[in-house]
Amino acid sequence: MNPHMTLVASALVILLGGSAPTSGLAQAATESVTVTLRPVGNSSVSGKAVLHARGRETDFDYSLNATDRANQQREYDVWLRAGSCAAPGRKREELDDLKADGRGEQEDEDVVLADLLATEHILQVRVEDRDQVVACGDIRRVP
């Protein structure tokens, strides 16, 4: 359809009390979710991640903080996993490593944010090369 005709048709629908057609992909492209990464056990590590939908990809903007200097200098793995913080499931993606110095990272992953929100998923922070979880956050929409 001619783009000018689409615009006219959309304006006419709105004037008549309806709504203009929207693309599900366009709506999803603007969605963002904030995940609070809470300390696990006696950890001093916490953080925040903001996930932005970008079509078939999701931008992950995340940072960690620690209250003590030793943990600020340590490297941490950040994993995207199925499940919840109480019952973690399989590992889906490993994000870039980072320190708990508040500087943060940004990366794109080939996952659809709507798919992550459709079932339980978490971001789990682990001491690099060890099986020690220090922070975790459930990925979910907040009304």
Q: Where are the domains of the chain?
A: 23-139
Which pLDDT score is estimated for 29? 44
Which pLDDT score is estimated for 58? 94
Which pLDDT score is estimated for 112? 93
The CA distance from 42 to 21, in Å, is: 51
DSSP state of 52: E
Burial-class residue 103 by CB neighbours within 10 Å (0-12, 13-18, 19+).
exposed
Q: How far is CA 43 from CA 9, 64, 112, 132, in A?
A: 57, 12, 31, 10
Question: What is the mean pLDDT, run by run of 10 residues, along the chain of 143 residues?
Answer: 38 37 43 96 95 94 93 92 96 92 89 93 92 95 69
Instruction: Look at domain 23-139 and name its CATH class.
Output: mainly beta
Which pLDDT score is estimated for 65? 96
Gap between the terminal Cα atoms of the chain: 37
β pairing state of 57-66 and 45-54: antiparallel
Three-state DSSP at 25 gives helix
Which pLDDT score is estimated for 17? 42
Which pLDDT score is estimated for 129? 79
Which pLDDT score is estimated for 128? 87
Which pLDDT score is estimated for 143? 61
Which pLDDT score is estimated for 42? 92
Which pLDDT score is estimated for 26? 42
